[in-house]
Amino acid sequence: MSVFTLTAHVLGKGLDEQFTMEDTDKAGLPFFSGCQYCHASLGPLQALPGKNGYIVGTCCYDQDEPSDVYLSVEEAAKALEMDQ
Ligand SMILES: [Zn+2]
């Protein structure tokens, strides 16, 4: 569940649409961010909003125990109070 997916959800856009920095801004999310673990630079597709408020990169995402990131857009939007 990436910044890209969450932006699409919040703005009601399709996942096949083009996204700009303006779109992520509107959703209150960063277009470019850094991984909280390895500090890699991330675009919206690689950036996963973490439950502690920091971004987790797909580089450090633990598929077996993904307890630090939101698993669904619904969960994230609710927790971050993004649904308008
Ligand atoms: Zn990382």
Ordered by start, the domain boundaries in the chain are 3-79
Q: What is the pLDDT of residue 84?
A: 56
Q: What is the pLDDT of residue 60?
A: 95
Per-residue pLDDT of the chain (84 residues; tens, 9 = 90+): 999 999 999 999 999 998 999 999 999 999 999 999 999 999 999 999 999 999 999 999 988 888 899 999 999 999 988 765
Are 6 and 45 in contact by the 8 Å Cβ rule? The answer is: no
The rounded Å distance from CA 18 to ligand 1 centre is: 25
The residue written with tokens 């109070």 in the block is 81
The rounded Å distance from CA 46 to ligand 1 centre is: 9
Other beta carbons less than 10 A from residue 80's beta carbon: 17
Q: What is the pLDDT of residue 9?
A: 94
Are 15 and 37 in contact by the 8 Å Cβ rule? The answer is: no
The rounded Å distance from CA 61 to ligand 1 centre is: 7
